[in-house]
Structure 1
Amino acid sequence: MMETALRIDGVDKFYGPVDYGVHAVKKLTMDVKKGEIIALLGSSGCGKTSTLRMIAGFEAVSRGQISLGGRPVHMLAPVKRNVAMAFEGYSLYPPLTVKENMAFALKAAKLSNAEVEEKVAYIAKLLEIEDILGRYPSSISGGQQQRASLGRALIRNADLHLLDEPMGQLEPQLRAVLRGRIKHYIKERGLTAILVTHDQTEANALADRIAVMEGGVLQQFDTPEMIKERPANLFTGTFVGEPPMNVFSASVTTSGESVSFGLGDGVKLDYPASAFAPEVRAALGKRNRVTIGIRPYAVRRADDGVAAKVAVNQWLGDQTHIAADFAGATMVLVEHDRVSLTPGETIRIHLAPKSLHVFDAETGVAISHGDQLA
Structure 2
Amino acid sequence: MSNVMLRLENVDKFYGPINVGVHAVKNVSMEVAKGDIIALLGSSGCGKTSTLRMVAGFESTSRGKIHLAGREVQNLRPVLRNVAMAFEGYSLYPTVTIRENIAFALKSTNLSASRVAEKVKEISDMLEISDILDRSPTSISGGQQQRASLARALIREADLYLLDEPMGQLEPQLRTLLRGRIKHFIKERGQTAILVTHDQTEANALGDKIAVMEDGEMQQYASPAIIKEKPANLFTGTFVGEPPMNVFPATATLAESNVHLQLDGGLSLSYPKSKFSEGVRKKLVETKHVIVGVRPYAVKRGVNGAQATVVANQWLGDQSHIAANFANSTIVLVEHDRAVVNEGEKIGIELEPSDLHIFDPKSGHALSHGQDIA
TM-score computed with the length of structure 1 as normaliser: 0.99
- How many correspondences in the alignment? 374
2:76 maps to a residue whose letter is L
Between the aligned partners of 2:73 and 2:37, the Cα distance in structure 1 is 20
1:19-98 alignment runs, 5 A limit: 19-98=19-98
Partner of residue 210, structure 1: 210
SS of equivalent to 1:107: coil
Q: CA deviation at 1:2?
A: 6.5
> C-alpha offsets along residues 318-345 of structure 1, whole Å, 9 cap, x if unaligned?
0000000000000000000111111111
Q: CA deviation at 1:82?
A: 0.5
**Bigger mean CA offset, 319-328 vs 278-287:** 278-287
Q: Which runs of 5+ in 2 are unaligned?
A: none
Partner of residue 324, structure 1: 324
SS of equivalent to 2:107: helix
Give yes or no for contact 1:2–1:34 (8 Å, CA) kept in 2. Answer: no
Q: CA deviation at 1:287?
A: 1.7
Between the aligned partners of 1:326 and 1:363, the Cα distance in structure 2 is 25
Q: Which runs of 5+ in 1 are unaligned?
A: none
Partner of residue 144, structure 2: 144
Give yes or no for contact 2:105–2:153 (8 Å, CA) kept in 1. Answer: no
Change (3 A) 1:30 1:62: same
Between the aligned partners of 2:371 and 2:256, the Cα distance in structure 1 is 16
Between the aligned partners of 2:233 and 2:287, the Cα distance in structure 1 is 17
Between the aligned partners of 1:220 and 1:276, the Cα distance in structure 2 is 25
**Bigger mean CA offset, 85-94 vs 108-117:** 108-117
Identity %: 65
SS of equivalent to 2:287: coil
Superposed structure 1 runs of 4+ greater than 6 Å apart: none
Q: CA deviation at 1:35?
A: 0.3
SS of equivalent to 2:106: helix
SS of equivalent to 1:173: helix
Give yes or no for contact 1:164–1:196 (8 Å, CA) kept in 2. Answer: yes
Partner of residue 158, structure 2: 158
Partner of residue 4, structure 1: 4
1:289-328 alignment runs, 5 A limit: 289-328=289-328
Between the aligned partners of 2:337 and 2:17, the Cα distance in structure 1 is 57
2:322 maps to a residue whose letter is I
Q: CA deviation at 1:130?
A: 0.4
> C-alpha offsets along residues 106-145 of structure 1, whole Å, 9 cap, x if unaligned?
0222321011001000000000100000000000000000
Partner of residue 176, structure 2: 176
TM-score computed with the length of structure 2 as normaliser: 0.99
Change (3 A) 1:69 1:371: closer
Q: CA deviation at 1:371?
A: 5.5
Partner of residue 105, structure 1: 105
Say yes or no: does 1:280 pair with 2:290: no
